[in-house]
Chain A
Amino acid sequence: MLTARLAWFSRRGKWLIILPPLLFLFVFFLIPFAFALKISFADIAVRVPPFTDILTVGPGSHINLDLNLGNFKYLFSDDVYGLSYLYSLETAFFSTLICLGLGYPMAYAIARTKKSTQSILLLVIILPFWTSFLLRVYALEGIIRESGLLNTALLRLGLIHQPLQIMHTTFAVYLGIIYSYLPFMVLPLFATLEKLDHSLLEAAGDLGSPPWRAFLEVTLPLSVPGIIAGSMLVFIPAIGEFVIPTLLGGPDNLMIGRVLWDEFFGNRDWPVASAVAIAFLVLLVGPIALYQHYSTKQLES
């Protein structure tokens, strides 16, 4: 009786567990991309929804497939899109580097403290991540705006005579990204640095290697997995960032997320917005996903 039930369960019953998440994510996460792909081949139209059908059934049951490649051609003809892709890449790359420069010593310092101090410091690093991202970006504005804390302090000290223009500059965008994503860099770095075998460092020291050389030749190479993981966690959300360039950046800081938003809500050109999204996916997200897939596979084997 029991073994029969077990056999039934492992043969059929397991689908009761597998199907709900599989179907839900399939319908509401994967299928939407098919719709975006379809609409990226449509034309803008004055109707609801604002695009033409690419599949129409003509007289005599003719099925017309009307693929409009114009949207993709448009992406290549208008510089805005290409430039904003490159600009997003550049911004994400350099803010990841700065996060690494700041986050590595932080993680290193935490890994070198006592266990009890470690857990408190980790909590201090993680806590901002739980509080609202949008509100933290807004909070940053209170420091760097023209009448904000930084300018007020510098003016009072007499270091400057006119308030610095920090808001709506590229600098503010970098500051926002670093401020928001620094915890993502510190945590994986800490995880690798904490596991580091200290006897290796002692051995290097015993053999007469100065601390900086031991660091460069032992610690740094061994922490590469943490560097990669942390960099990915910063780079990936930074590249599609919308809130930070919109709230803190100026008109020049056209990152791809902002262009997409404007195309959709401002110009209401859904077909072009879909084409931008699809191109974004193929050119930027695809390579990252493939890289992650192969690196985890390599790690497993």
Chain B
Amino acid sequence: MQARISPLPITILGIGIAILYLPILVLIGYSFNASALVSVWGGFSTQWYTQLLHNDQILDAAWLSLRIGVVVSTLSVLLGTLAAVSLVRFRQFRGRLLLTGMVNAPLVMPEIVTGITQLLLFISMLHLFGWPHRGFTTIVIAHVAFCSAYAAITIQSRLAGADRSLEEAAMDLGAGPVGAFLDTTLPAIAPALISSWLLSFTLSLDDLVISSFVSGPGASTLPMVIFSKVKLGVTPDVNALASLIICAVGACVLLAGYLMQRAERQRNLEIAEAG
């Protein structure tokens, strides 16, 4: 299979990977530059990282973004699982087409359009009911609206491939439909639940456009703060912050991937032994 492979695709693969990683590596390099001028190397220094610890604006924004991320991804996995179960297990119900459409639409919807329309809704709701005030709540709602769609799609494909025979056996042994599902199918789709939680978390943590529209005064998420700082010019403390975030996320993804692969292998092994 890997008999003859011409050097051209390999070269382009190398160039492509270099394009993907060079900017990130350069950014991490700059973050240790003692000089605030990007063109001059002023020696190794961790001063921008220390400065970061004293920047209340960035710390507050980071704390807000993390809180939003945790709430959003938990709610998104819950709603996404319910949506996936609805679409995979209930073949016919009123509103099935509507739910399918709404689950797939965020994939093709430009964020800027979603952001504007949701802001208009929140403003009208505030006008009519006196709720919700723009800030934490509206950002969470707006993020769950698109993250739960991504979660539903991820879980849906896993659920469709899951074996139902164990669940049926549990029901034959007297378990209720919900109990049987929780005991047998839920562990089987657990990897999809974990990856959709992580996906929702990074999507929420990274979102700039939708947050900018639906947020209110006093609630600036981390991307909003970074964006306004970057627009103003070179900011060495953003280099430090960006390096920290990129390394933390990279490490988490690698770790989660490794753990999930190991758990999957374990599970397959157990099934093979039992069978």
Contact = CB atoms under 8 A, between A and B. Distances in A.
Nearest to B246: A131
A81 to B, nearest CB: 14
A21 B152 contact: yes
Contacts of B93: 14-15, 18
A72 interface: no
B202 A130 contact: yes
Given A28-B121, A108-B9, A257-B112, A133 B99 contact: no
A209 interface: no
A23 to B, nearest CB: 10
A130 B249 contact: yes
Contact of A22 (B99, B146, B178): B99
Given A2-B174, A25-B99, A243-B209, A182 B19 contact: yes
Interface string A140-154: 111101011100100
Contact of B9 (A105, A141, A240): A105
A57 interface: no
A36 B86 contact: no
Contacts of B27: 135, 138-139, 142
Contact of A270 (B99, B120, B178): B120
Contact of B242 (A21, A132, A143, A211): A132
B12 to A, nearest CB: 4
B127 interface: yes
Nearest to B234: A145
Contacts of A186: 16
B227 A21 contact: no
A6 interface: yes
Classify chain A's interface size.
35 or more
A6 B181 CA distance: 13
A209 B143 CA distance: 53
Interface stretch (B43-51, B53-61, B103-111, B182-190): B103-111
B102 A30 contact: yes
Contacts, number: 248
Given A103-B16, A109-B9, A139-B24, A21 B99 contact: yes
A292 B30 contact: no
A143 B8 CA distance: 26
B123 A49 contact: yes
Nearest to A147: B39
A134 B61 CA distance: 15
B85 A17 contact: yes
B89 to A, nearest CB: 8
Nearest to B235: A138
Contacts of A243: 208-209, 227
A82 interface: no
A274 to B, nearest CB: 7
Interface stretch (B66-74, B75-83, B157-165, B267-275): B75-83
Contacts of B227: 134, 243
Interface string A1-25: 0100110010001110110111011
B30 A138 contact: no
Contacts of A128: 20-21, 24
A183 B142 CA distance: 26
B153 to A, nearest CB: 12
19 contacts: A21-B103, A21-B148, A102-B15, A105-B12, A125-B17, A125-B20, A130-B253, A132-B202, A132-B223, A132-B245, A138-B242, A143-B26, A182-B16, A182-B20, A240-B113, A264-B213, A280-B110, A280-B113, A288-B108
Interface of B: 1-2, 4-6, 8-10, 12-13, 15-17, 19-24, 26-27, 30, 37-39, 79-80, 82-83, 85-86, 90, 93, 95, 98-99, 102-114, 116-118, 120-121, 123-124, 127, 141-142, 144-146, 148-149, 152, 171, 174, 176-178, 202, 205-206, 208-209, 213, 223, 226-227, 230-231, 234, 238-239, 242, 245-246, 249-250, 253-254, 257
Given A138-B242, A142-B27, 11 more contacts: A14-B90, A18-B99, A21-B103, A102-B16, A124-B20, A132-B223, A138-B226, A148-B39, A242-B209, A260-B116, A274-B120
Interface of A: 2, 5-6, 9, 13-15, 17-18, 20-22, 24-26, 28-33, 35-36, 39, 49, 102-103, 105-106, 108-110, 112-114, 121, 123-125, 127-128, 130-136, 138-143, 145, 147-149, 152, 178-179, 182-183, 186, 198, 211, 236-237, 239-240, 242-243, 246-247, 257, 260-261, 264, 270, 273-274, 277, 280-281, 285, 288-289, 292
